[in-house]
Amino acid sequence: EVQLVESGGNLVQPGGSLRLSCAASGFTFNNYAMSWVRQAPGKGLQWVSVISGGGAISYYADSVKGRFTISRDNSKNMVFLEMNSLRGEDTAIYYCARAPILRGIITRGGDFWGPGTLVAVSS
Amino acid sequence: SYELTQPPSVSVSPGQTARITCSGEALPKKYVYWYHQRSGQAPVLVIYDDDKRPSGIPERFSGSSAGTKATLTISGAQVEDEGDYYCYSTDSSGNRGVFGGGTKLTVL
């Protein structure tokens, strides 16, 4: 059974940092790209970042580039999102999702999502 | 920045056909994915690669894409199909994912 479980969400002050984790099981982890998607309270989905199966390639939304870093540990079947210089507009539920890779394309839509973890940025 | 445009809401009676559109300049060359999200739950993929249905998704869900517009069709919509629907694709570079603003489907 495919499982994705996010953790690390918390209340943090503006300008602070946080590291989100996503534990994966039930599939061959390094065969999939992994992405982060967020959803602010009452708002729509926003794509944040994606990392390739081997971890060598990553892409970011303009709104987080330079502040967030995605990484993965294939030996532990985990993907991470390091978030720095957090702002109020980063407040959201953060979902991790696995994305099948086809012909080298890693930005395909996620086919399975975790339940999410809540990040709140406030003083 | 690249955008995908969806209607804010669609309403149908049970058993009717619901159609939700998604417009974007890069769609002629990029696949579209559709997600269903019920309140308080994670999104669920209902259509991938424009018109393919994942296992476990009812046959009443179908997708199509022509030119700069993609369409999710729910033939014989049921009450359990209510919720928010989002389209997803990438910009022309293929390096940035983008979601549409979402469409709230009401079946009553």
8 Å CB contact of A110 and B99: no
Chain A residues closer than 8 Å to B90 by CB: 107
- Burial class from Cβ neighbours inside 10 Å (0-12, 13-18, 19+) for residue B73 reads middle
3-state secondary structure labels for all residues of A92-119: EEEEEEEEECECCECCCCCCEECCCEEE
Q: Do A62 and B48 touch (CB under 8 A)?
A: no
pLDDT tens profile A76-119: 999 999 999 999 999 999 999 999 998 888 999 999 999 999 99
pLDDT in tens, B4-60: 999 999 999 999 999 999 999 999 999 999 999 999 999 999 999 999 999 999 999
pLDDT, chain A, mean: 97
Question: What is residue B29's three-state secondary structure?
Answer: helix
Q: Provide the 10 A C-beta neighbour count for residue B24.
A: 23
pLDDT value at residue A88:
97
Residue-level pLDDT at B47: 98
* Angle, CA B57 vertex, CA B82 and CA B61 arms, to 5°: 60
Contacts of A37 in chain B (CB under 8 A): 43, 97, 99
Residues in chain A within 8 Å Cβ distance of B94: 105, 107
pLDDT at A39: 98
The mean pLDDT value for A70-76 works out to: 98
